[in-house]
Amino acid sequence: MSTIQLSSILTPGRTLCGAPGHSKKRVIENIASFICDDIPFINSIELFDKLITRERLGSTGLGHGIAIPHCRVQNCTSIIGTLVKLEHAIDFEAIDDEKVDLLFVLLVPEEAQDEHLQVLATLATKFNDSAFCDQLRNTEDSESLFVAATETT
């Protein structure tokens, strides 16, 4: 299985360090708005609804403070990633009940089945690396967060 480069789906404009929010719902709402500021052809209310609907099927909190919220998006032509480091860790109903402070939000085209699964597997492997996560957590701003996420991929 080939792995993707984070730099192929993530941009500095979709990397956010110190994001506010004190609940899962509010954080997802803020992230949907943040993404749509960068990608205006996606509607933030529809994106929020899709991400929340996906979370209701089961939390995307992987454990160790990591979550990978994801959903399929109409009129999305390629996989879109957004990396967020929260200002304060929040309850995300993660598998290990640990609060989440790092999120990688993934938007995929409706028809991207295999590619979607490959990207999720790559992200899960990447975020399972504690050194990589520590590097992200030690950043102070969005630019350094982007560099930390993409320089080693």
Return the ∠ at Cα 1 (arms to 60 and 13), rounded to 5°.
50
* Contact (CB, 8 A) for 10 and 35: no
* Contact (CB, 8 A) for 100 and 88: no
Longest dimension (CA), the chain: 37
SS3 68: coil
Determine which one of 22, 64, 70, 116 is catalytic.
70
116 is catalytic: no
Residues designated catalytic: 70
